[in-house]
Amino acid sequence: MRVAVLAPVAWRTPPRHYGPWERVASLLTEGLVARGVDVTLFATADSITTAELDATVPHPYAEDPSMDGRVWEALHVAHALERSAEFDIVHNHLDWLPLAFAGAWRAPLVTTIHGFSGPGILPAYAAASLNSASSNAASSSYVSISDADRSPLLDYVATVHHGIDLTELDFSATPGEDLVAFGRIHPDKGTADAIRIARLAGRRLIICGIVQDQEYFEEAVDPHIDGDRVRYLGSVGPSDRSAVLGSAAVLLHPIHFDEPFGLSVVEAMATGTPVIAYARGSMSEVVDPGVTGFLVDGVDAAVAVVDAASALDRREVRAVAALRFGVDRMVSEYLAVYERILAR
């Protein structure tokens, strides 16, 4: 089987710091290669992989203000499209743009929907379904990353939860007392709520993540950062992620949107750190209440379970994370998706 993995090009694959879609694309690519699959990774030229790397984008456009992301994404997709006849499967992790050309792909197209940026992109998904239904040359199949993130307007071939590389996330049996909020700083992620929860619980808070909403950061987050009770570490890359997550008593995930998956949640659990999350989106699929953490409905409810969450058995938290979210499970499920599509 020859598989093309079409990664995003906003960040490197794997990312240096932020870049969850690129991270999943990398983990899948390396896992497929380890299984003996012939994989070509379409990504930025500075990407690191054991697969064949094919690149038209010299480096991540999100790291270079002189680059127009729309232009480089179009060139990236066009190049993969030109080579598509060489593959049995093209696996798209680049959102809607490749779907605009669904009828032109010369191999079955699988799209992992990492999360809808808004209802405005749905026409591209719907059109791809219609185009591929009438095309003998290409088909477009959709994989959701959680059941909660499915659109009623689309048909899906499977739900595949993200996997994580457990070798990158060391288990920590003896954490500190601090809480951690890990993710982009944006109202959706509820960073300000995490600050309130930590203050009311009498705990210190460590915040990690890129600033995605500057006004929100300046008004709701930055005034509380004092280097003691609230610390901000910026964007924490893979080399430091394990230590930061594993040193926390609890990960706070007080989301204000329907989270498609929550990669930092399972990464925290892999280090043994339990999670307190608002019960929205995929959280009921990811967190096992009373085992790996708790699901709550607001600040006060979160404060009420901080001590209980920090007392959970961290070895059990790690074991459940390894069982449910190991990268090998993800790779196996995607291979089953490919085989199902090719059998058609």
265 contact partners, CB below 8 Å, separation of at least 6: 251, 253, 275, 277, 283, 286, 287
Confidence at residue 137, expressed as pLDDT on a 0 to 100 scale = 38
What average pLDDT does this structure show over 273-298?
Answer: 98
CA distance 81 to 183: 33
- pLDDT tens digits, residue range 150-201? 988 888 999 999 999 999 999 999 989 999 999 999 999 999 999 999 999 9
- Give the dihedral of Cα atoms 104, 109, 112, 116; nearest 10 deg: 30
What's the CA gap between 5 and 35, in Å, rounded? 15
Distance of CA 304 to the CA centre of its chain: 29
Q: What is the pLDDT of residue 27?
A: 97
**Fold assignment, 166-325:** Rossmann fold (3.40.50)
Which segments of the chain does DSSP mark as H helices, in order?
20-34, 69-83, 122-133, 191-201, 214-216, 238-246, 263-270, 283-286, 299-304, 306-310, 314-325, 327-342
CATH number of 2-163+326-342: 3.40.50.2000
Residues 6+ apart with CB under 8 A from 199: 205, 229
Strands 250-253 and 230-232: unpaired
Residues of the chain with CATH 3.40.50.2000: 2-163+326-342, 166-325
How many Cα atoms sit within 13 Å of 295 on the Cβ side? 11
What is the band of 117 on the pLDDT scale with cuts at 50, 70, 90? low
- Rounded Cα distance between 145 and 18, Å, is 19
Q: Is 65 or 102 the better-scoring residue by pLDDT?
A: 65
> What is the arithmetic mean of pLDDT over 136-163?
86
Structure-token match 């593959």, residue found: 87
Least-confidence region, from 88-92, 108-112, 117-121, 317-321: 117-121
Which residues make Cβ contacts (< 8 Å) with residue 98, sequence separation at least 6?
Answer: 6, 77, 80, 81, 90, 92, 105, 109, 111
